[in-house]
Structure 1
Amino acid sequence: MSNIVVFGAGGTLGSRVCAEAVRRGHQVTAAVRRPEAVTYLPPEVSVVPGDATSARSVAELAPLADALVVAIGGPGRTLWREAAETLVTTLRDMPAAPRIIHLGGGATLLAPDGSRLLDDPEFPDRYRESAAGQADALDYYRSSNGVTWTYVSPPPLEFHPGERTGHYRTDGDRPVTDEHGRSVLSYEDFAVAVVDEIEQPRFTDARFTAAY
């Protein structure tokens, strides 16, 4: 059993990671900015105040954890890079520091020509700022040292609520596609992939993506 702290546990993906981890018998702490507003997580989850961009908050919660899952979201571009910097600088000198599992953006994946999907001129403008922010966080992790991290990207487009099948395939920087060229995954199976990676690390200090 692992002790898992999930920052942003009240959100779409964070809540599913909590549910999947509890299902497998892990001890889960949901770190959210407004604990009183989070009433829909499994009763086994401990809900506490927490903020991935606060060094004090990270320092208080890290000693409880084997893994810190970053499932945060918000407006603007800077949030994800700020969280990455806070986590790395806070954990770097901490004995037995937990591993960072950052739930990142699918638009940071690479097209066949090697360019990032978010750099395509036809990429929707309404998503470009947040996609760039997630890319900034990935770049920061890749340039960091002294911590252990994994960055997990969903499919770039067809990513939605659905069935938990427990099945998926993985790749590194390019979307996983089926025989029709589609990259598809449910939120539920994304959570399965995240908890699988916590239990049996395969992508240490690296990014991976998952889809059917």
Structure 2
Amino acid sequence: MAGIAVIGANGTIGSAVVAEAAARGHEVLAVVRDPDRYRGDAAAVERGDVLDPVNVARVAAGRDVLVSAVGGGDGPGHLALIEPAARALVEGLRALGGEAPRLIAVGGAGGLETAPGRRVWDTPGLPEAVLQIMHAHGAALDYYRTVADIRWTVLSPAAEIGPGPRTGHYRTGLEQLLVDSAGRSHISVPDYAVALVDEIEQPEHIGERFTCCAL
């Protein structure tokens, strides 16, 4: 059983990660902006600020893994958090020295390769708001790749992620966008959470980004 803190535990992906981890018997701390509104599956809940390294260090202390489910899907205010949050997370974990937990961050699909020299964000016709989220996640990943003293992992979803069943089955890859047997790049939120918690339990991607897709 691992001690896991999930920042952004009230969000769509964060709540799914909490539910999956709790169902497997892990001890989960939900870190949210308003604990009074939390109704999830975590064993404990605390107020948190992902942009405050001191707060990051406090909620991460004594944990085995810190999950950051900070994304840009909730509007411009959240979009502006993505890359600065990556820096604050690393700074907070550095303050814990050798006792710092592993960091797993929810990433984006925009930087995945669709062909040599082309990425998802090069697809014609993408809305500007979507492009901004993609590039913000790309900037966060670029920053993580400069970090050598923290055990980090970024998990990028398939091109489409949304509601759906928990099948417990998925494919993984590294830098290329994955597609299923019908040529569609998608994964349900519950199966994304399965992939993330599997990575917690069986680490295979420390210091790198990987991606997951439905079969």
Q: Output the TM-score relative to the length of structure 1.
A: 0.93
User: Quick check: 1:177–1:211 contact (8 Å CA) kept in 2?
Assistant: yes
Alignment correspondent of 2:101: 98
Letter in 2 for 1:169: R
Distance 1:191 1:7 in 2: 14
SS of 1:180's partner is coil
Percent identity between the aligned chains? 43
Distance in 1 separating the partners of 2:63 and 2:122 = 36
5+ residue gaps, structure 1? none
- Equivalence for 1:149: 152
2:193 corresponds to 1:195 = no
Match of 1:70 in 2: 68
2:117 to 99, 106, 114: 114
**Cα offset, 1:28, TM superposition:** 0.2
Distance in 1, matches of 2:117 and 2:103, equals 26
CA–CA distance in structure 2, aligned partners of residues 107 and 114 of structure 1: 13
How many pairs are equivalent?
209
Match of 1:57 among 43, 50, 55: 55
* Whole-angstrom distance in 2 between the partners of 1:181 and 1:112: 14
Aligned to 1:45, which of 20, 35, 43? 43
Q: For the Cα contact (< 8 Å) 1:81–1:136, is it kept in 2?
A: yes
- Per-residue deviation, 1:106: 1.4
**Is the contact between residue 55 and residue 92 of structure 2 (CA under 8 Å) also seen in structure 1?**
no
1:36 aligned partner: 36
C-alpha offsets along residues 109-143 of structure 1, whole Å, 9 cap, x if unaligned? 11213322113342221211111111110000011
- Is 1:140 the counterpart of 2:143? The answer is yes
User: How far did 1:73 drift?
Assistant: 3.0
| 2:210 equivalent in structure 1 | 208
Amino acid at match of 2:56: V
Consecutive aligned runs of 4 or more in structure 1 exceeding 6 Å deviation: none
Aligned 8 A contact 2:158 2:177 in 1: yes
The equivalent residue for 1:170 is: 172
Aligned-residue CA RMSD (Å): 1.4
Deviation at 1:148, TM superposition (A): 0.6
**Which TM-score applies when normalising by structure 2?**
0.92
**Matched residue, 1:11:** 11
